[in-house]
Chain A
Amino acid sequence: MATTTASLNSTAAVSAAPVKSHRRMGGGRIVAWTALIIIILVTLFPFYWMLRTALSTTNALFSDPAKLLPVEFTWGAFARVLGLATPAEARAEGGSGASVQFFLYLRNSAIFSIVATAGQVFCSALAAYAFARLKWPGRNIVFFLFLTALMVPPIYTALPNFILIKNLGLLNTFPGLIAPYFFMTPFAIFFLRQFFLGLSQEIEEAAKLDGAGHWRIFFQIILPMSSAPLVTLGILTFINMWNEYLWPLLVGTGENTRVLTVALGVFRTQSPQSGPDWAGLMAAVLIAALPLLILFFAFAKRIVNSIGFSGMK
């Protein structure tokens, strides 16, 4: 990239200004790096502020709102959010006495996200196999039909789906919460089909000669060969499920099926309007975000690299 020679018969694109080109990049690069670092700071600073606030005493926050370190450091916010502090202790630090039954909601979020993700990835893999590796009349038409579901906005189907789940008596149950996500999403089928299409045919043919049926081929050849994209899809789906709000808000209203996102919304409304329990709120938000942040640090490379045009949602 160090070329500075301007070609002699330079095209019309070159303006009258003397051509120095990339020599100036020294200064340019500094500006560019500065811009990138500012963006990263804007991205990350709110996370720090979350932590700093969660470790502060709510009542003290009002006297020192801009201090960079926690104001009157305490673990109290976490304790009261998790229900480990007595109401008296909580109120002394500016809490409302309300707690998040964090471990219950964590369990609910985990059941909802894990079961929905597992079902979706597995059922979609089955269908993707039929679309990619089996020959049958109407295959492309059915595939196209499935893809049209990509166009439908979730709120549009959420209304009738709510009625269906209600009529089936599944409101406030995990089956009701999970069912719409369990069997397929058009995206998951599309994503896996693309991958299956690219797998080598030879191994499969060899297995067939050995007398393996489609089930064995699917479970013993296709799935193991596709472990990487299956994991990638699983992580992306899990993130989406964990962050889902509207459907759990409609269907999982009771304590026993309330997931973390919904619980946070409730916690916020319980917080008094005048002088909210900011430290408590940030502690709640932080522990709710923690599982995903841990997942992210464990799989950062895979998640980051999966976002391209194959991993687009």
Chain B
Amino acid sequence: MSDTWVPAEVVTSEDVSRRPRRRSGGGGDLAMALVFIIPATIGFVVFYLYPSIRGFYFSLTRYNLLGSPHFIGVDNYVRLVNDKLFWNALLVTVEYVLINIGLQTILAVGIAVLMHRLTKSTLVRGLILMPFLISNVIAALLWFWLLDYQVGLVNEFISFVGLDRIAFFGDGKWAIPTIALVNVWRHMGYTALLVFAGLQTIPSYVYEAASVDGSTEWRSFWRITLPLLRPILALVLVITVTGSFQVFDTVAVTTRGGPVNASRVMQYYIVQKGFQQGEFGYASAISVILFIILAIVALVQLRLLRAGESDLA
């Protein structure tokens, strides 16, 4: 195992097409290519394409998983509009995403800049990444313990300082922020490493020039780092926001949507409807909406942050 593999992003297809090649013309390697892509095509058609179409069809049916789907047109969508729990789920999910992404992005950029300016140590990066290695379920259970009302360490500290204990998972006000924070803890290191990789694309002469011109670290951050990081930050945001909208694991092992409906996020609501309450068609309709929301959010982000353009030209 050599440690010298070239990062894939520096290699573009041009490197290949520039080379002269002898071609026998016509279909080229078509027959061979078909053989090579057969397994992946099976996977794509059976587990991505077909379910994508079928999922939309299910959303137009009444289906309790036992009988066969019964076509009912757009009834599920009409019902959605009047479903208070659906709107609640959407609202709660958005609240989660805002807290989760807001904090995570700020912390990740902060950590990445600190590492960039202080140390390139693999050890530090490895330590920062550790929470990402354990599953959402484990992170959730670990914090469930740390934040326990009676004997959790955090509440011990809070009462030691003289404040009132907080029912982090048991209080409707706190449930979503708490779940968001748990996932910030798990993901911030990973996000920081993505941003860190982005920082390394900024040539150091830019900073040297700024420093010669008397710019402070603080000013350089706002005037150089952040603007030049924008395209990468945009990609990171598209990926983290999309992931964040699909929060499920943490809710499933801690609050289970509660207290009352305080943390019944969209994906949890979908799974509950589909698999616990036998309303598979309705659950499919909600998942179609989630899909559309994610697509719109991704497009808007790419547009607003002009992810495709770099200022480093």
Stretch from A73-81, A85-93, A97-105, A239-247 at the B interface: A239-247
Instruction: Point out the residues of chain A lying under 8 angstroms from B215, CB to CB.
Output: 13-14, 21
CB distance from A23 to the nearest CB of B (A): 11
Q: Does the CB pair A149–B48 fall under 8 Å?
A: yes
Q: Does the CB pair B138–A285 fall under 8 Å?
A: yes
Q: Are A183 and B40 CB-contacts (below 8 A) given A136-B29, A265-B137? A: yes
Nearest B residue to A244 by beta-carbon distance?
A: B135
How many A residues are at the interface, by size bracket?
A: 35 or more
A49 to B93, CA, bound (A): 30
Q: Which of B146, B213, B275 contacts A49 (CB 8 A)?
A: B146
Instruction: Point out the residues of chain B lying under 8 angstroms from A201, CB to CB.
Output: 16, 19, 21
A21 to B160, CA, bound (A): 42
A107 within 8 A of B: no
Contact with B along A296-312 (1 / 0, CB 8 A): 10001111110111101
Q: Does the CB pair B51–A309 fall under 8 Å?
A: no
A110 to B148, CA, bound (A): 32
How many B residues are at the interface, by size bracket?
A: 35 or more
* B5-24 contacts to A (CB < 8 Å): 5-13, 15-16, 19, 21, 23
Q: Which of A19, A155, A264 contacts B141 (CB 8 A)?
A: A264
Q: Does the CB pair B127–A278 fall under 8 Å?
A: no
Q: Which of B190, B213, B298 contacts A6 (CB 8 A)?
A: B213
Instruction: Point out the residues of chain B lying under 8 angstroms from A5, CB to CB.
Output: 212
Stretch from B79-87, B96-104, B171-179, B289-297 at the A interface: B289-297
B2 within 8 A of A: yes
Q: Which of B65, B118, B122, B148 contacts A300 (CB 8 A)?
A: B122
Q: Are A134 and B29 CB-contacts (below 8 A) given A302-B3, A307-B193? A: yes
Instruction: Give the most central of A160, A162, A218, A246: most B CB within 10 Å.
Output: A160
Q: Does the CB pair A151–B135 fall under 8 Å?
A: no
B246 within 8 A of A: yes
A209 to B145, CA, bound (A): 65
Q: For the complex, would chain B's binding face be called helix, strand, loop or mixed by DSSP majority?
A: helix
Task: Count A-B contacts at CB 8 Å.
Answer: 340
Residues of chain A touching chain B, judged by Cβ–Cβ distance below 8 Å, are: 1, 3, 5-7, 10-11, 13-14, 19, 21-22, 24-25, 28-29, 32-33, 35-36, 39-40, 42-44, 46-47, 49-50, 53, 61-62, 65-66, 123-124, 126-127, 129-132, 134-137, 139, 142, 145-146, 149, 151-157, 159-164, 166, 179-180, 182-184, 189, 191, 194-195, 197-198, 201, 214, 218, 227-229, 231-232, 239, 242-246, 249-250, 261, 264-265, 268, 278, 281-282, 285, 288-289, 292-293, 296, 300-305, 307-310, 312-313
Residues of chain B touching chain A, judged by Cβ–Cβ distance below 8 Å, are: 1-13, 15-16, 19, 21, 23, 27-30, 32-34, 36-37, 39-44, 46-52, 54-55, 58, 65, 107, 110-111, 114-115, 117-119, 122, 124-131, 133-138, 141-146, 148, 150-153, 156-157, 160, 185, 189-190, 193-194, 197-198, 208, 211-217, 219, 223, 232, 235, 239, 242, 245-246, 248-249, 252-253, 267, 270-271, 274-275, 280, 283-284, 287-288, 290-291, 294-295, 298
Can you offer 14 A-B residue contacts whose CB atoms are under 8 A? A13-B219, A36-B111, A40-B128, A131-B37, A135-B28, A139-B33, A155-B270, A184-B39, A201-B21, A214-B29, A228-B5, A307-B194, A307-B197, A310-B8
- Identify 10 new A-B residue pairs, CB closer than 8 A, beyond the known A7-B212, A44-B127, A261-B249: A6-B214, A33-B118, A36-B111, A127-B40, A156-B288, A161-B47, A184-B43, A243-B136, A289-B133, A308-B7
